Structure 1
Amino acid sequence: MRSNLEGKISVVVGGFSKVGQAIVDRLSAERSVVIAVDEGLAVSAEAASLRAIKRHLLEDLTDVHEVQSTLKQIESTYGKIDILVMAVDFRENSFRANEAGKLKSLLIKNVLPVQLFCHFTVPIMKKRKFGRIIIVNSLKYLGAPRSFGYATAKSALFGLTRALALDVVKDGITVNCVVVGELEELVCVANSEREALLKRIPVGKIGSVNDVGYAVRFLASAESGYITGQLLFVCGGEHIHVSMSA
């Protein structure tokens, strides 16, 4: 059966991270033309072997001119951008709260790329009166120990999603957020800590990056056209313990 993503042009920013790779693979499997964008320093040997994927390496995802130039080049090559997935995730787990430089870095690297790519992609999508923007976020936006700066940055993406959704809804563009909990490929804890972690997750298991790929695929599809400004939690129900309103 033909996929409704066949022939769609998808840009996945942060596409060489483990989560990004899973999204790239899922959209590619649906026959979307996928362009993976990331910073050159962020590309691992594993990511460099991505199959049949167009790649754009930027020196800095927060550089206005570099972002604009990249998106213009993609539009010039493919004539459109249908789907934008922002899978950028910058963490600094060892920072101390009084290290202002690292706090600033967490904000800039997690938020500014999303703002810039959305800002320059929306006009391209408006030309065709169609677009899907999907922002990958972390469950830690709700607050977590030792995540002062990180949670602050991720909370900003919550507001960004809803505000942008309202701004572009009349142009046939939807904007949604996939909120990600613990993932097997990213978890690095001792067995005792793992048991405690599993107790917090109602489904009783840790998720996979593939689960994120499936969620993004749905929000990128034609079937999601009546959904915008929403958060889709991919966390095994963990958010039930911490939020009654999101």
Structure 2
Amino acid sequence: MTHDSTGRVALVTGSGQGIGRALAQVFAAHGAKVMVATRTQASGAETVRLIREAGGSAELFTVDLSTRAAANQAVAATLETFGGLDLLIHNAGMFPMQNLIDLSDETLEGTLAVNLKSCFWLTQAALAALRQAEHPRIVITSSVTGPRTAIPGLSHYAASKAGVNGFIRSAALELAEYGITVNGVEPGLIATQALASLGDSPALARNIPLKRLGTPEDIAHAMLFLASPQAGYITGQTLVVDGGAMLPENAQFM
């Protein structure tokens, strides 16, 4: 299966670096026309440059997805630029470390807005266009943190990602009548800038059965499958991509 996306339009949020950049690059490499939607202009421009140098099609829309208006603008810009929308790939997220006892309203509200509320806002804004698409897909970056595991200092992040999984299941039921599938990927430990705040990479990799951290491309290829026509009978699901890290009951079995 090649998962050809030629001619399909993909809005990829949080695509300035890390997993999001890999998503934009992989979808573009498979023929999609990609709207790179990210908060930082410089990093977004670099993603666009890399895609174009590789022969792909991409445009940049700088946006902070912490409000409904911003989500509406991101979808509107995609429609204005490319004339349609087939794939809503929502990856934008906040990952601020802050212990529960010190958690501020600003950190809590910002994390919930970008990670969870924007799922609602983007889907509502994109729905009319997705209903016109041949194989409409919504794919969201969730996490193993929250739905399956916990990390001290990330209660707000964990809650947002557990909420994302609930959104995926309920939205899948509501949108099935339009032929729109809604799925997610739960990354484990992925080698990104954000992971550096959690500790030494070799030490983290030791407790992973495959003995390595994941790459952003590992996540991108899983999402590429879920967004493909071949995945048309899968909806309301999340795929764990973690190198087997969730399998052992205890680290002593590693």
Instruction: List runs of 5+ in structure 1 lacking aligned partners.
Output: none
Give the Cα–Cα distance (whole angstroms) in 2 for the partners of residues 200 and 31 of structure 1: 37
The answer to whether the Cα contact below 8 Å between 1:97 and 1:148 also exists between their aligned partners in 2 is no
1:80: which partner in 2?
Answer: 84
Task: Confirm or deny: 8 A CA contact 1:9 1:34 kept in the other structure.
Answer: yes
Q: Which residue of 2 aligns with 1:185?
A: 192
Q: Which residue does the alignment assign to 1:144?
A: 150
Q: Distance in 1 between matches of 2:175 and 2:96?
A: 33
Identity of aligned residues (%): 25
Q: What residue in structure 2 maps to residue 213 of structure 1?
A: 220
- Helix, strand or coil for the counterpart of 2:129? helix
- CA shift at 1:11, angstroms? 0.6
Cα-to-partner distance string for 1:123-143 (whole Å, 9 max, x where unaligned): 211134641100011111223
Deviation digits for residues 188-209 of structure 1, max 9, x if unmatched?
Answer: 3665x733x3343122211111
Q: Which residue of 1 aligns with 2:22?
A: 22
Q: Residue 67 of structure 2 contacts residue 113 of structure 2 at CA under 8 Å; is this kept in 1? A: no
Among 70, 74, 79, the residue aligned to 2:74: 70
Q: C-alpha deviations, 1:21-56, integer Å up to 9, x for none?
A: 101110111011111111236837754644322111
Q: Which amino acid aligns with 1:74?
A: T
Q: Tell me if the contact between 2:45 and 2:60 (Cα under 8 Å) persists in the aligned partners.
A: no
Instruction: Give the Cα–Cα distance (whole angstroms) in 1 for the partners of residues 35 and 70 of structure 2.
Output: 16
Distance 1:241 1:164, change over 3 A: farther
Q: Write the distance in 1 (CA, Å) between the matches of 2:167 and 2:183.
A: 10
Aligned: 1:125 with 2:125: no
Unaligned 5+ residue runs, structure 2? 53-57, 250-254
Give the TM-score taking structure 1 as reference length.
Answer: 0.87
Query: What is the CA–CA distance in structure 2 between the aligned matches of 1:49 and 1:77, rounded to whole Å?
Result: 17
1:8-47 matches, within 5 Å, as 8-40=8-40, 43=43, 46-47=46-47
What is the CA RMSD across the aligned residues, in angstroms? 2.4
Alpha-carbon distance between aligned partners in 1 of 2:73 and 2:109, rounded to the nearest angstrom: 25
CA distances 1:200-235 after superposition (whole Å, capped 9, x unpaired): 312221111110111111111111111111111110
Q: 1:106 aligns with which of 108, 111, 123?
A: 111
Q: Distance in 2 between matches of 1:155 and 1:185?
A: 21
Residue 161 (structure 1) aligned to one of 156, 168, 173: 168
The answer on 1:194 being equivalent to 2:202 is yes
Correspondence for 2:51: 51
Distance 1:44 1:8, change over 3 A: closer
Q: Distance in 1 between matches of 2:45 and 2:136?
A: 32
